Amino acid sequence: MRLAPTLCVALCAAATIAGAAGCQVSGSLSIPLLDQKPAASDSKPRGHPDERGSAGSSRESGPGAAPPGAPMFFGDHPDLESVPFENRLTANFSQHTFTTEGLDFDPDIGASGRTLLFASTRNSERADIYYKSVLGTALTQLTNDPADDVQPRFSPDGERVVFGSNRSGNWDIWMIRLDGTGLVQLTRDRSDEIAPCWSPDGARIAFALWGRRSHRWEIWTLSIARPGVRQFLAYGMFPSWSPDGSRIAFQRARQRGSRWFSVWTITLVGMEARHPTEVAHSDIAACIAPRWSPDGQSLAYAAVRRGVNSPSGSSDKHESADIWVIDLKSGLRMKLTDGAAPCFNPTWGKAGRVYFVSSLSGTENIWSLVTDMDAYATGRDQGTEHVSQASPGGPDESGTK
């Protein structure tokens, strides 16, 4: 299948590295969709494994484009009715980047809440990393390489950035200082490594690695001081370390090689993974790319569906990706976006603000809105139902159950 660039950004979060079985997308990148790896005969990936689509160009797709009849990520539900929902947060949208060419994606916010870090194809078909003031317009370009640099994450002290890049021929984890000096390659083996995130103390990172023996995505950690020392934690991808350092959230295929992803957490006990817990799932959506709130009480994630009825009421089908927040203590969940355009790549800033990528302006840019889980929970306690309301006997569209 071929998907519009808007949804391709979201699908990459649920994807494996470019070249795996999946779909061919509009533009420049081949986006795989299953928890599986290409055959050994495939050449090295050229697309990038993140939550974005093409740069809007017509560059030839990578070698992993799916053959006719390849499994579809979402599958079709021709008898599934559109599920109504009650949305409480359609206002308060703020736009933070304004590119009209290429894409801005992979946002991350510094600990101060004042600096926005992101990847972009605004100046090149290959992605580079930029940062700017959350409220300003001036950009600083942090990387400039012929390869793709994606998935940047601020260190807790805001002085360093880790990111994924295929500049060495396959996907590896790199680190650079915010002033552009001190570029270091942290991983360098034959396996592909993507999606780095920092531990709260800045001493370690967690990342996803394609297991050459398991043929599954695996989550590992390494020490910044001794990158060669690694530790396996769990099967999954796109890890996010909790603010107190006690847990890691990630996405995992609900069955090996399945099309549907759900959000899980593990508890770290002496750097050993314990108590794997599925916290958000759906039978009709992929729950992907979780990110912790600064207080560690909530997770934001994207719930991605394909082939739902048009909001206008027509019979046309469109892709759907929305941002959800789940309160882990109560299990309450809230839909932040209204389906007007695909929204994905959530991350948190200060004061309950969630940043995300959307084509609300016609091109993928970075937006934000404010959520108030406390008020939401209070309303639920008083008998006000704020969650999506499924039709009688029908499945829940929320992305959680």
Give residue-wise pLDDT tens across range 109-134. Answer: 999 999 999 999 999 999 999 999 99
Going by pLDDT thresholds of 50, 70 and 90, the confidence category of residue 11 is very low
Where is 149: in which H helix or E strand?
strand 149-154
> Alpha carbon of 17 to those of 43, 156, 193, 235, 379: distances in Å?
12, 27, 9, 15, 42
**Percent of the chain having pLDDT more than 70?**
66
Residue 92: per-residue pLDDT: 78
Tokens of 35: 């928890």
> Across-strand partners of 377?
none
Instruction: Specify the higher pLDDT residue, 224 or 16.
Output: 224
Res 334: pLDDT: 93
Tokens 């759906």 locate to 282
Q: What integer pLDDT is reported at residue 79 of this predicted model?
A: 37
Q: Considering only the top CATH level, what class is 96-381?
A: mainly beta
Query: For the segment 25-80, what is each residue's pLDDT rounded down to a tens digit?
Result: 222 333 333 444 433 333 333 444 544 333 333 333 333 333 333 333 333 333 33
Confidence at residue 254, expressed as pLDDT on a 0 to 100 scale? 78
**Distance between CA atoms of residues 76 and 305, nearest Å:** 10
How high is the pLDDT of residue 22?
32
Alpha-carbon span 204 to 271, nearest angstrom: 11
Locate the domains of the chain by residue range: 96-381
Mean pLDDT for 190-210 is 97
pLDDT tens-digit readout, 164-191:
999 999 999 999 999 999 999 999 988 9
**pLDDT classification of 373: cutoffs 50, 70, 90:** low
Can you tell me the distance from the alpha carbon of 195 to that of 219, in angstroms, rounded to the nearest whole number? Answer: 10
Q: Look over the chain and give the mean of its residue pLDDT values, rounded to a whole number.
A: 76
Mean pLDDT of 133-137: 94
296-309: pLDDT as tens digits = 999 999 999 865 54
Q: Which helix (H) or strand (E) holds 262?
A: strand 261-269
Instruction: Report the pLDDT averaged over residues 137-141.
Output: 96
Asked if residue 95 lies in contact with residue 64, where contact means CB atoms within 8 angstroms, the answer is no
Q: What is the pLDDT of residue 49?
A: 52
